[in-house]
Structure 1
């Protein structure tokens, strides 16, 4: 009994010998040509279907991930606005305005809803899931501190300000809730960029195999012409047409998909990144402005003299201004540019009114300073509201542009995989039938 390796070697030798014998006759050569053409076409179709399906899945992820990124940005906005509303209500005195209290509760409820939705859309055990769990665990602690601050404020106890500052530290401190929300947004944005890049990667293997299949079909038809003096073989011509259709469909679909996803990134996502940063800095600056009045200079910066929250307000509004200038440059139409210009104008007004409040506070006129910041009429609060409204309008416009372009890119790739599979099978069958017609002449 021969050894297994000897048996396999003998089988290979016998197979090679049969191929050599077949290649010595024209029918044998035709069978080999038919098999090679069918194999080339099927491999081309299979790779095209695989890569087309992969690109479509990535484009579909871009559309879905865009919503997830929006939700993470909204989560940060809701949390930061809740912190701002808590400070605004505290400054109003023992009787907190009902609209401010309602806004705070609405922000907390919205944050809880967004956290629940995000938890369902991230992979269990991932870093994003850990960030969501961290926010979920710390949010009740923060709201508890806010309620303690309110209770103390209603009794006109100085301890209320300390509770509020401590709550703000839990929200915005280095290891707080907002940094976790910001990390979540950054991570989801990075995944969106990666998925967009994957969807826009050209299927070079499929294109190369398509060109190879067409070259083999052309060579087979040229050989047929030389052997028979017949210009066309219907089977091989049909296979050539089908392969050409798949290759052109592949190139057209990938080009259209790339254009749509590129527009989604250029006209939507890039602007959204800058606008979301602007919203974050606006909310942080507003919280710092309120805390400046609450602390009354009790929290100092590193120099030991300057109010820490005043320094932070200046830094945040400077970043806000830079973000808005960047957003103005990225806006590609009037609908996106107009709200950005309105926000820039409102920031300039906000700075002026904040400066007036700071001068009053420095002069020891706390009541007037509070009126300049959170009173009625032309105040910092009113200017901030204009900034916030303008940013919300700009973000909504850019989000719509992103979603529409991403869906267009996804739509271009929708049926490529199925079309490639069907046409490749038809091409393989046509090539075999074309070769079979020549074989029939030898019977």
Structure 2
């Protein structure tokens, strides 16, 4: 019997089994092919870019991408820069200036409360109800404004520190005033000592802290005002660059096609010009409004606040001159401390009124200042009369020239304070009007710049695609 010959192992696709093992033959595995050698990813990109740049369609695609990127970048940067300045302008109107005004009102309320307390003490054991109410209203106003300031000065360590000092010292001051009142009702001389201690707390703790708070908030107002008025140089430079590249691209298209206009590129250029001109005009108007607010509002408010504070200091020292009766002297021991402080505060008031008149730009601002200057002169004359009576030993006559509803220094002080309030209200309205006008000029520009940037980029892409279609 014959058998067919065995096929070779290689032909059957199996390896021959080892003798004596009984393990069936396994199929052979072909070795894996090695990856083809080639340049890296960045090298491939550079090579593709080089090949594209050697053909006109490739160059057009690159140009379209660059134009679209530049126009979008211009719109985006403009939107962000203008939004930042609009935010600063909004802070000037709605945060910084109101906080500065509130800080000044805190100082005024505290100083007026001290003045009212001294006036009530001079009136005798039976304090006039209107003076008591004035004192209570001043303390309530200061407390309310401190709460408001604490909520509005978040992030300012300096302002928070001064507010904490005021909140700590105000109850101590009111406690001393109540002790002075209680002693005064009983006719005890100790009442005058408590009143002087209370005034010392006011002049060395409360008023300096309120003044530092006012200075801190005024400094923040100045910083916000400066931030809002800074020119957006990056947006302007980028806009000029984009405009130059678009003009070059249109000249290039004209040189190769002899066509005067490419509608897409013209649209992109128009959008860029609109944003650039809008940016210049809006920021110019905003700067003009903020400059007017600063020159005819903010500066006047600062000087008028100084005048009002000086009048309050003068009135408080005038009252304490009679309360102390010469018991408190200056450091050199030669003069009455309160009378010296009165003279210093009165000089500051006169100087501030003169500065305010120079800054006033209309009759509505000048008229109350003229009235304040006239009443200040009257106040000084009445004060001289009161001092003459006191120096002659007529304490009761001097007291009646200082406190009372008619023909007294107190009446003159009230008239000066009322005139200064009218001037402050007028300058506050002038500031708000001008600052709101500056803020309004920037309101729509961020959104408009972003939208025109997108439209300009789309126009650039469509214009380049129109050229690319000629190669298909």
Return the offset for 1:377.
Answer: 2.0
CA distance in 2: counterparts of 1:244 and 1:375, whole angstroms? 70
Task: State the partner residue of 2:56.
Answer: 26
Q: What TM-score do the two structures reach when normalised by structure 2?
A: 0.91
Aligned partner (choices 138, 144, 161) of residue 130 of structure 1? 161
Alignment of 1:205-220 (within 5 A): 205-220=234-249
Task: State the partner residue of 1:48.
Answer: 78
Q: Which runs of 5+ in 2 are unaligned?
A: 1-37
SS of alignment partner, residue 334 of structure 2: coil
Q: Is the 8 A contact 1:88 1:374 kept in 2?
A: yes
CA distance in 2: counterparts of 1:309 and 1:66, whole angstroms? 33
Kindly tell me the number of residue pairs found equivalent between the two proteins: 434
CA distance in 1: counterparts of 2:227 and 2:307, whole angstroms? 29
Task: State the partner residue of 2:124.
Answer: 93
CA distance in 1: counterparts of 2:85 and 2:445, whole angstroms? 10
CA-atom RMSD in angstroms: 1.1
Q: Is the 8 A contact 1:235 1:435 kept in 2?
A: yes
Task: State the partner residue of 1:225.
Answer: 254
CA distance in 2: counterparts of 1:276 and 1:254, whole angstroms? 30
Q: Which runs of 5+ in 1 are unaligned?
A: 1-6
**Greater Cα shift, 374-383 or 294-303:** 374-383
* CA displacement 1:252-306 (0-9 Å, x = unmatched): 1100100111111001000000000111110000000000000000001123121
Q: Is the 8 A contact 1:66 1:403 kept in 2?
A: no
Return the offset for 1:11.
Answer: 2.8
CA distance in 2: counterparts of 1:87 and 1:123, whole angstroms? 35
Return the offset for 1:125.
Answer: 6.5
CA distance in 1: counterparts of 2:425 and 2:385, whole angstroms? 33
Task: State the partner residue of 2:268.
Answer: 239
Q: Aligned in 2, Cα 1:54/1:124: closer, same or farther, shift over 3 Å?
A: closer
CA distance in 2: counterparts of 1:10 and 1:278, whole angstroms? 76
Aligned partner (choices 449, 452, 458) of residue 420 of structure 1? 449
Task: State the partner residue of 1:3.
Answer: none
CA distance in 2: counterparts of 1:376 and 1:424, whole angstroms? 68
Alignment of 1:248-259 (within 5 A): 248-259=277-288
Q: Is the 8 A contact 1:288 1:310 kept in 2?
A: yes
Alignment of 1:179-198 (within 5 A): 179-198=208-227
Alignment of 1:50-129 (within 5 A): 50-64=80-94, 65-123=96-154, 126-129=157-160
Return the offset for 1:376.
Answer: 4.2
SS of alignment partner, residue 354 of structure 2: helix
Q: What TM-score do the two structures reach when normalised by structure 1?
A: 0.97
Task: State the partner residue of 1:35.
Answer: 65
* CA displacement 1:88-137 (0-9 Å, x = unmatched): 00000110000000100011111111111111101156221121111011
Q: Aligned in 2, Cα 1:376/1:109: closer, same or farther, shift over 3 Å?
A: closer
Which of these two proteins has the greater Rg computed from alpha carbons?
A: 2
**Greater Cα shift, 80-89 or 372-381:** 372-381
Question: Is 2:205 the partner of 1:168?
Answer: no
Task: State the partner residue of 1:324.
Answer: 353
Question: Is 2:464 the partner of 1:435?
Answer: yes
Alignment of 1:287-302 (within 5 A): 287-302=316-331
* CA displacement 1:207-252 (0-9 Å, x = unmatched): 0100110111100001101110111111000011111111111111
Question: Is 2:426 the partner of 1:400?
Answer: no
Task: State the partner residue of 1:4.
Answer: none
CA distance in 1: counterparts of 2:322 and 2:357, whole angstroms? 32
Question: Is 2:439 the partner of 1:410?
Answer: yes
Return the offset for 1:19.
Answer: 1.6
Q: Aligned in 2, Cα 1:376/1:195: closer, same or farther, shift over 3 Å?
A: closer
Task: State the partner residue of 2:343.
Answer: 314
Give the number of the structure whose residues are more often helix, by fraction.
1
